[in-house]
Structures are given as structure tokens and as C-alpha cells.
């Protein structure tokens, strides 16, 4: 594969320094411009502030790129929804056509693994959509977690999803779900869902040791670290759930499906909540980047 790795990321990997992968769909499809670019750069700064090197991942001009420049991040931010959203199935087409593409959780995991990056921070993973028993709408993120050796730090699955079915799916696929300082699956905009996670761990070192043990045992696939949004930025559950219900109802009326559904719902929820959901989204991403960097540093120190 013609994989472009920035000099900073390449040097960090060669020297055994901690590196954290970052996705680019959150830039193009997760937030409006210019907050998307501002947030992406703040997330990179947060990773650096905690001792690791950030590697924002995307496809630029048909070239899978690990460690995007500020100019490339700006380009994706301005492109917004017109940028191609790239999961596993889309990757060869976007590369062959020489397009710019923003990688989803699944797409980012694939390129992170190929570059040798073991820790990835995002906002929330995709999962089993509401009504999936009829539509079969299940995110490719879940399949990728089963097969790709990258640990994902997130604020849980996006609360627009069916969280119970998402957890059942992950359990069926043998993916370890760890709650950082919690026994409950975070619900993205809120800290609690009422759904138990597989394990609770309370320090980055404890998580790093589990990741090291997984690799040492030769076990394939990723692990999911769920990190609750900070209390001060958590939204009222009734408010956000009402907004989600309204957004889903409008999506159904307009026939919006597939990979278009998540960006539509996030944008609609942001408008319904007067921008409060966007603020919460930004803060939870920064919080995840912070934890991912801490885990990556601990893992590098124990030789993982």
C-alpha cells in the first residue's frame, strides 16, 4: 500500500514513542466549519500536552495519509459533507479515483494498524441503529473492532443508536468493553446508560497492562475503552433524548439512511439543542484524546 506517514509520526513510531491515531470524519461530517478544524487542532494539542504524538488519518488525493498537516485538516473541514466518508468498503474506490476522503472509525482503525499505531481516540463509535431488526443497519465499526488490532478510546456508542443491541453485538464478537472509572456504558452526551460494561478499570496504567497482555497472548482484534464525558459537560438525559427522538423522526420522514444518517442526526440535534450538543461533543472528544495519550504513554513505557 502507498501509505504516506508524516515525518513526525514516522520518527515517533521508529523510536517507540507513544502515538495516538485520530479520525477525520469528525472533521468533515461531525461538526460544522470552522469549529471542526478548530476542534481537530485542539485535539492534536491535547494529545501532545499529555506526552504522545497525534496522527490524524485521512485519504488525501487518493493517498492514505497518517499524520495530516494543518492545511490538509483545513481542506477537509471546509469540504464538510462533500468529502467522501470512507469506511472499509469505500477505501479502494477513493484511492483509485484519487479523491479526498475522511476516514470513519473503521477506516481509521485499518490505516492505524497498517502504520503500527495501537491507540486511537474518537468521539463515539458507530453501532446498531434503532430499528436494525428491520433495516439491518449496523455500523462497520463493530466488525472492525473484532478483527483489527487497534484499541479505541471513545465516549461510548453514539446515543442516537440502540445501545443495548450495540453492547450485545460487541459481546457476540468477543470485543472487550472497558469502562474507565465506571461500570456503566457512557451514552456519548451523557455519562450513564443503565447498561453494564464488561470490565471497569480506573487508571491508564491498568488499561495499558491489559492491552500489553492481549498482544503478548497473540489475541487478535481491538478493545473498546469507554470514557464518560466530564460531568460539567454532560447533558440532561431527558433533553438530549427528546432531541434525538425528534431528529430520528425527521430522518425517517425524509428517508435518510445508511452513511448519511449519523451526520444528519448530529447536525439536527445540535440545532434542536441550540448548540449545546456541539459543545458537549467537542469536550468529550478532548477528554478521550487526553485519556488515549495517557494510555499510549503507559503502553510505550512497558514495551507495548
pLDDT digit string, tens, across residues 194-225: 999 999 999 999 999 999 999 999 999 999 99
- Give 91 or 136, the one with higher predicted confidence: 91
* pLDDT(129) > 80: no
The backbone torsions φ and ψ at residue 72, rounded to the nearest 5 degrees and listed phi first, read: -70, -40
Q: Match 501509505 to its residue by C-alpha cell.
A: 3
Four-point Cα dihedral 191, 197, 200, 202, nearest 10: -30
Task: Calculate what percentage of the chain has a pLDDT beyond 90.
Answer: 72
Range list of β-strands (E), 166-260: 177-180, 199-201, 224-226
Residue 275 pLDDT level (bands cut at 50, 70, 90): low
Q: Give which of 210, 211, 177, 169 is closest to 196, Cα–Cα.
A: 177
Alpha-carbon distance of 296 to 63, in angstroms, equals 26
Alpha-carbon distance of 146 to 194, in angstroms, equals 24
> Do 151 and 211 form a contact (C-beta atoms < 8 A)?
yes
245-256 mean pLDDT: 80
The residue from 23, 74, 113, 298 that is catalytic is 23
- pLDDT value of position 246: 85
- pLDDT value of position 267: 76
Q: What share of residues in the chain are helix, strand, coil (percent, to 5)?
A: 50, 15, 30
> Do 128 and 195 form a contact (C-beta atoms < 8 A)?
no
230-252 mean pLDDT: 83
3-state secondary structure of 206: helix
Residue 164 pLDDT level (bands cut at 50, 70, 90): very high
Give 102's contacts (C-beta < 8 A, 6+ positions apart).
23, 24, 25, 27, 28, 29, 58, 59, 76, 79, 83, 84, 85, 86
| Residue 240 region by backbone torsions, left for phi larger than 0, else alpha for psi between -120 and 50, else beta | alpha
201-204 CB contacts, 8 Å cutoff, 24+ apart: 204/291, 204/294, 204/295, 204/297, 204/298
The set of cell numbers assigned to 142 is: 463493530
Angle among Cα 232, 235, 236 to the nearest 5 degrees reads: 120
Task: Calculate what percentage of the chain has a pLDDT beyond 70.
Answer: 97
The set of cell numbers assigned to 176 is: 472487550
pTM of the prediction? 0.92
CA distances from 47 to 22, 165, 259 (A): 10, 32, 28
Range list of β-strands (E), 6-77: 19-22, 53-60, 63-66
pLDDT digit string, tens, across residues 39-98: 999 999 999 999 999 999 999 999 999 999 999 999 999 999 899 999 999 999 999 999
23 counts as catalytic: yes
The residue from 10, 85, 118, 158 that is catalytic is 158
Domain positions in the chain are: 4-301
- Taking all residues of the chain, what is their mean pLDDT, rounded to a whole number? 92
Q: Which fold has domain 4-301?
A: Indigoidine synthase fold (3.40.1790)
Amino acid at each position: 500500500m502507498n501509505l504516506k506517514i508524516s515525518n513526525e509520526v514516522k520518527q515517533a513510531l521508529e523510536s517507540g514513542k507513544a502515538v495516538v491515531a485520530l479520525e477525520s470524519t469528525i472533521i468533515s461530517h461531525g461538526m460544522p466549519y470552522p469549529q471542526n478544524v478548530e476542534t481537530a487542532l485542539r485535539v492534536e494539542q491535547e494529545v501532545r500536552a499529555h506526552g504522545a504524538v497525534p496522527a490524524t488519518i485521512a485519504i488525501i488525493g487518493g493517498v492514505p495519509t497518517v499524520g495530516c498537516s494543518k492545511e490538509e485538516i483545513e481542506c477537509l473541514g471546509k469540504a464538510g459533507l462533500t468529502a467522501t466518508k470512507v469506511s472499509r468498503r469505500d477505501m479502494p474506490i477513493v484511492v483509485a479515483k484519487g479523491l479526498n476522503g475522511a476516514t470513519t472509525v473503521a477506516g481509521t482503525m485499518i490505516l492505524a494498524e497498517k502504520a503500527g499505531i495501537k491507540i486511537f481516540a474518537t468521539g463515539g463509535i458507530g453501532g446498531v441503529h434503532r430499528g436494525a431488526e428491520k433495516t439491518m443497519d449496523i455500523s462497520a465499526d463493530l466488525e472492525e473492532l473484532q478483527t483489527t488490532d487497534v484499541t479505541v478510546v471513545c465516549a461510548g456508542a453514539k446515543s442516537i443508536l440502540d445501545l443495548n443491541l450495540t453492547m450485545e453485538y460487541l459481546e457476540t464478537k468477543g470485543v472487550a468493553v472497558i469502562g474507565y472509572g465506571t461500570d456503566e456504558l457512557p451514552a456519548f452526551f451523557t455519562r450513564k446508560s443503565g447498561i453494564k460494561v464488561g470490565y471497569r478499570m480506573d487508571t491508564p496504567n491498568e488499561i495499558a497492562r491489559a492491552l500489553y497482555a492481549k498482544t503478548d497472548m497473540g489475541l487478535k482484534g481491538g478493545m473498546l475503552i469507554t470514557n464518560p464525558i466530564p460531568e460539567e459537560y454532560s447533558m440532561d438525559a431527558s433533553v438530549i433524548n427528546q432531541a434525538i427522538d425528534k431528529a430520528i423522526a425527521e430522518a425517517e420522514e425524509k428517508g435518510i439512511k445508511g452513511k448519511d444518517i449519523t451526520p444528519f442526526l448530529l447536525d439536527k440535534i445540535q440545532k434542536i439543542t441550540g448548540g449545546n450538543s456541539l459543545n458537549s461533543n467537542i469536550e468529550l472528544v478532548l477528554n478521550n484524546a487526553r485519556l488515549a495519550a495517557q494510555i499510549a504513554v503507559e503502553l510505550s513505557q512497558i514495551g507495548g
